[in-house]
Amino acid sequence: MRLLRGIASWLGERFELEDSVMAVLRHPVPRELERPIGWWYVLGSATLAIFVMQVVTGVGLAMTYVPAPNSAYDSLQFISHDATLGGVVRGMHYFGAGAMVVLVLAHMTQVYLFGAFKFPREANWLTGSLLLLATLAMAFTGQLLRWDQDAFWSVVVAAEQAARAPVIGNWLATLVIAGSNVGGATLTRFYATHVFLIPAAIFGLIGMHLYLVVKRGISEPPVPGLPVDRPTYRARYAEMLRRGIPFWPDAAWRDATIAAAAVVVVVVLAAIFGAPQLGKPPDPTNVVADPRPDWYFLGYFAILALIPPATESIVIIGLPLFAFVFLFLVPILWPDGERHWSRRPAAIAAVALPFIAYASLTVAGIESPWVPKLEGGALPASVTQGLGASERRGADLFVSKACFACHAIEGAGGRRGPDLSHVASRMTRDQITARIATGGGGMPAFAGGLTPSELDDLTTFLLTRK
């Protein structure tokens, strides 16, 4: 123990830690945080601890993971089943991703209900909102790196959603899949985004967020009937800090306790359950894969599966845009006034209603496939009646090759792709053939899954749809 104190003293003197790091750790916080309500202020530290764990486990996985289409799946199987502690490390990374999403959302909910986004901490909320978006992006791109059937079709769905954006939709879809088809360039792009771009953004945002927390001070617990008054708030808060307590160690022990507990829970889950099982290897020709995102995206998955086709573009573009705009307008529209949740019933509703709705959608998402179940599926008799031999074979291929899973004809079939009831009125034979063979806009290429005669029969059938 004496040796450790000696080392700490030597490092502190050489790097002048007393005037830098310790000065920050000992910054004053409101004395009210000594009370039980102080436990509500620990979620940010727990999130930071999980992020550090994600970085450490991510580096370990990156040392073995091979970001190539013909190797990614096998390398993850090796990590999960053959590498020393590989299953535990991958399990920690998997459960850590879920924990980080939950903790970020819980932290922002606490900040919102406590009114801690109000003056002078509006920028704290804005950087926190960016951290939430970065966390969700990190979780989504991580799922894609598994490169199994779920991951492959998640990319396709993401490209389809991006393509719905007005004006720049096609450009966004190309940006998502790094070309016209999902392939090696797609995986490389998501790997670079997940491993380099998003973590760099998170590190920068965390640094900015912590600077603002120290500079603006930790908000005091809200008191009913004591609103934020911008002309007098700074003086009142300064007086509060003069009788406050140092963050370290008086308040930080709670943060350290919960942060350690969060890490321990993730490690225990990884040790008990191990790494999640991968799905089947990616197969671009099998669209009846019934893919599933990770549990925290299941609610959004259910929305995509259940909304009427006519509203898809509105929901796909409008819902994320509304959420994004709401997050960033909160501190601008309500910078002062009451902070306590009991005096802000609209704030309680703004938290409770989306939570209930998303929880219900998550339950629905467990049962709702992205593509229809095709047992006994068939085209309507009005579509197949009077077809010639080649056209009949094409109609059979439309169902057996699972075109039916994503495209509808006369109301029968899937709705992930465009309705083909009148496709021949807007595309020529060459255009139809090229689209089937090479894909594009989120649709995979089927040239490798169809013989030339099958491709010709399928095109011939579609040309009857005028």
pLDDT in tens, 216-274: 999 999 999 999 999 999 999 999 999 999 999 899 999 999 999 999 999 999 999 99
Work out the average pLDDT over 24-42: 92
Whether this model's pTM surpasses 0.75? yes
Q: pLDDT tens across 48-57, in order?
A: 999 999 999 9
Average pLDDT over every residue of 408-418: 74
Domains parsed from the chain with CATH numbers: 21-367 (1.20.810.10), 381-462 (1.10.760.10)
Predicted local confidence at residue 314, as pLDDT: 81
Q: Looking at residues 358-384, what average pLDDT do you find?
A: 70
pLDDT at 81 over 70: yes
- pLDDT class for 372, splitting at 50, 70, 90? very low
Reported confidence tier of residue 371, pLDDT bands at 50, 70, 90: very low
Q: Is the pLDDT of residue 171 over 70?
A: yes
- Read off the tokens for 381: 């008799």
pLDDT at 127: 97
The three state secondary structure string of 13-55 is: HHHCHHHCHHHHHCCEECHHHHCHHHHHHCHHHHHHHHHHHHH
Q: What is the pLDDT of residue 22?
A: 78
Decide which of 107 and 439 is more confident. 107
Mean pLDDT of 378-405: 84
**288: pLDDT strictly greater than 70:** no
CA 309 and chain centroid, separation? 24
Percent of the chain at pLDDT exceeding 90: 51
pLDDT, residue 159, reads 80
Q: So what's the pLDDT on residue 431? A: 87
